[in-house]
Amino acid sequence: MTDKINTFATERLSFYQRFSLTLQLVSFSIIVCVVIMFFSKYDMIKLFLALGIIYLFITLLVSIHRSVTYIYEIQIDANKISVLGQQYNKNWITEIEIKNLDIFIRKKYTRVSCYYYLVIKSHDNKKFVVNKLFNWNYFILYKLYEEFKKAKSEKINFEEKYLLEGIEKKAKDEFQWRN
């Protein structure tokens, strides 16, 4: 008898696409620095220019770091979970027994909204972040979390239920929810 494999996926993005997307997330702060520098006094321009260059360098390093590893697919069956991703543009697959994993819902606030992502952590401290670039469909994230809990035979506690309701609301607000 073969186990049913549930697949949850998002689009595959090249390293350049991931880097561009990550850089877009922090571009607002770069614009603010340029505007402050433009309206500052002449003697402060050198200081703001130096700080701006340092900030731009740090932003580029952070963007590159966030873009290196990317998860585009999760497969769950009764005994194991397969995580498919890319490091730069090289594909990789990791398979781990489901009993050795925990899953957490995390919420990140930005200036205009909040975003949800999942952290899958193995007992040997490997960590996989699903929706790190905030490009996964929230309905898929919701179903992934439910299926993981079902495969592990765990109940959803009160805090997780609250966060799942937030994911559901976000999916409905963005017209991603399917019945």
Give 83's strand partners.
Answer: 74, 94
Is residue 95 in some structural domain? Answer: yes
In a shared domain, residues 138 and 111: yes
Other residues' Cβ atoms within 10 Å of the Cβ of residue 167: 23
Is residue 1 in some structural domain? Answer: no
Instruction: Return d(Cα 44, Cα 46) in angstroms, integer.
Output: 6
In a shared domain, residues 58 and 83: no
- Helix pair 42-68, 15-39: axis angle to 10 deg: 170
Give 129's strand partners.
Answer: 119
The pTM (predicted TM-score) of the whole model is 0.75
> What token pair was written down for 7?
């697949």
Instruction: Return d(Cα 167, Cα 116) in angstroms, integer.
Output: 7
**Torsions phi, psi of 11, nearest 5?**
-70, 150
For residue 40, what pLDDT is reported? Answer: 66
Please give the chain's pLDDT, 179 residues, in tens. Answer: 456 778 888 878 878 788 877 776 566 666 766 676 666 666 666 777 777 778 778 878 888 877 788 888 999 987 888 989 888 888 889 898 988 899 899 988 877 778 888 999 988 888 899 888 888 888 999 999 999 988 888 888 898 899 888 888 888 887 877 76
Is residue 84 in some structural domain? Answer: yes
Residue range(s) defining the domain that contains residue 30: 15-66
Is residue 24 in some structural domain? Answer: yes
